[in-house]
Amino acid sequence: MKLILEIIQSGTAYLEKRKIEEARLNMEHLLAHVLHCRRLDLYLRFGESVPEPDLVKLRDLLKRRGEGEPLQHLLGTVEFCGHEFVSDHRALIPRPETETLVEMILKKCPSAPARVLDMATGSGCIGLSLAKAWPLSEVVLADISEDALDLARLNASRLGCNVKFLRSDLFEKITGTFDVIAANLPYIPTAEIPTLSAEVQRDPILALDGGPDGLRIVERFLKDALAHLNTGALIALELGHDQGAPVVTLCTELGYLNASTAADLAGIHRFVFAVAPQRVVPEEAVAEIDEVAGIE
């Protein structure tokens, strides 16, 4: 039987040969997963041996990681905003950048909004994190993918969140208005998808492909969102590294107020925030309200 330190060293070398970034960190996570302990606990157990059955499990995971399967899929979960989310092939892997988006939304809303929408929810990481922070808010999680919604339902159950789920192509089946709408939409130009890392290419294509310029879905989202935003409501988007400025321009052209970008921890302005203009009630809706009230 091999010692833990020897296993970490040999596994790290194996992943380095296969161009896996942060090879040692990956190896430590995999070994800790197999041994059912914390990664840092390994440093106190370097001299211990690992039973052969555990080595068999580890070799399989190591091979799959070397072939580009995401670490989060192999571990089965990922931490996001202090909560543990199940992560698999059904949705994008929750990433640290998106944690920053959630933190910024919470800072911009000092009091809990009445109604919140997480569009293209995927694993549910944005909407469920907001639901945990705002337990009295009505939170709706929407996605075009039933597989993604199943994963979000699983995460909601694990976190004890009482939220609503809706399968919808953007706002196709969305009703009512919201005080906050957040979205991490597909924004990668179609031609760039084959150039992405092996890990990212394991994500659902539906969650990646933003059309020829990467902004086809974002544009449709911003146009349709106006009918579902209360006056002064916040809209928050995560985008590609070079898409912030053009999306701010688009927001302004569509009538949004105070549109601006914000940077992630790496200094990349990938977030766009904007405020909904004064809500205009359609004339037919006003007529219906007047009729009900007996004005006519």
DSSP class of residue 124 equals S
- 121 and 235 assigned to the same domain: yes
Residue 136 maps to a domain: yes
State the Cα angle at 220 between 212 and 198, rounded to 5°. Answer: 45
Domains of the chain: total: 2
The CATH code of the domain that includes 115 is 3.40.50.150
- 116 and 262 assigned to the same domain: yes
Q: Locate 257 and state its tokens.
A: 């107020």
Residue 35 maps to a domain: yes
Q: What is the mean pLDDT of residues 141-155?
A: 97
Q: Locate 27 and state its tokens.
A: 């190896």
Q: Which residue has the higher pLDDT, 93 or 198?
A: 93
At which of 18, 36, 67 does a domain end? 67
Binding residues: 143, 184
DSSP class of residue 123 equals T
Q: What is the pLDDT of residues 87-123, one digit of tens each?
A: 999 999 999 999 999 999 999 998 999 999 999 999 9
Torsional class of 258: left (φ above 0), alpha (ψ -120 to 50), beta (otherwise): left
Provide the residue type at 179 as one letter: D
Q: What is the pLDDT of residues 231-279, one digit of tens each?
A: 999 999 999 999 999 999 999 999 999 999 999 999 999 999 999 999 7
Residue 293 maps to a domain: no
Residue 164 maps to a domain: yes
- Tokens 């970008």 correspond to 261
Report the percentage of the chain scoring pLDDT > 90: 84
Mean pLDDT of the chain, nearest integer:
93
Report the percentage of the chain scoring pLDDT > 70: 94
- 141 and 49 assigned to the same domain: no
> Which of 108-112, 185-189, 217-221, 288-292 has the weakest average pLDDT?
288-292
- 59 and 97 assigned to the same domain: no
Q: How confident is the model at residue 173 (pLDDT cuts 50, 70, 90)?
A: very high
Residue 289, pLDDT score: 45
Residue 155, pLDDT score: 98
- Tokens 């150039």 correspond to 195
Radius of gyration (C-alpha) of the chain in whole angstroms: 22
CA distance 262 to 2: 49
Residue 237, pLDDT score: 98
- 227 and 114 assigned to the same domain: yes
- 51 and 98 assigned to the same domain: no
Q: What is the mean pLDDT of residues 74-84?
A: 96
Task: Indicate if the pLDDT at residue 290 is higher than 80.
Answer: no
> Does pTM top 0.75 for this prediction?
yes
- Structural domain span for residue 187: 89-275
At which of 14, 37, 67 does a domain end? 67
Binding residues for S-adenosyl-L-methionine: 143, 184
